[in-house]
Amino acid sequence: MRAKVCGLNSVEQMTQLDEMGVDFAGFIFYPKSPRYVLKNLAKAELKKAKGVKINKVGVFVNENPDHLLSLVDDCGLYLVQLHGDETPRYCEKIADYISVIKAFRLRDDDDVLWKIKDYQDIVDMFLFDTAGAEYGGTGKRFNWEILYSLNINKPFFLSGGIGPEDIEALKFFTTTPVAKDLFSVDINSRFELTPGVKDMQKVKPFMNELMNI
């Protein structure tokens, strides 16, 4: 099982996660977020992080596409996660340059297949998160049952308020039909000391259990 730890604000913690075997490190480039990475890290620091295999993911919300692409280069990003209201045409422009994860914020009554259909042939992966008033995470899980029987037909990240206590629920999720397309688990606020600072005493045991699923 792959894992992405999102909302990082330090190269040191990225290195620690790399040593644990975490696959993806998420950095938020949304200025309104309390985890806005450029408050704490210079672009050059992020780009020059050495000795790590972890893949750097830039999280953007309705960003100017030319500015976004310049940040991809300036920060050495491996993937881009689009977490706003980006249109298929917008996503296509970005996907011509770098691999794209399109995030969808889900409510319990959403028709998921309808929401993703126009992006199916454009982006590389999806991410499913919990709907909230703002673009950022809510710290709450959405009802995973709305995904169980679906054929997403594209790799996806499962996100939205996943916490240390959710290992058994994740084990069950892997037994459902939709899990054939599950690419990675995405964790963030439930593993924090403060916004942008992860509690490694929570992350490490979670990772150990996740790798045994």
The catalytically annotated residue of 23, 75, 129, 166 is: 129
For 102-105, the CB contacts below 8 A with 24+ separation are 102/126, 102/127, 103/127, 103/128, 103/129, 103/159, 104/128, 104/129, 105/129, 105/130, 105/131, 105/132, 105/135
Residue 15 has a CB neighbour count (10 Å cut-off) of 15
The catalytically annotated residue of 6, 23, 75, 91 is: 6
110 in catalytic set: no
129 in catalytic set: yes
- List the catalytic residues: 6, 129
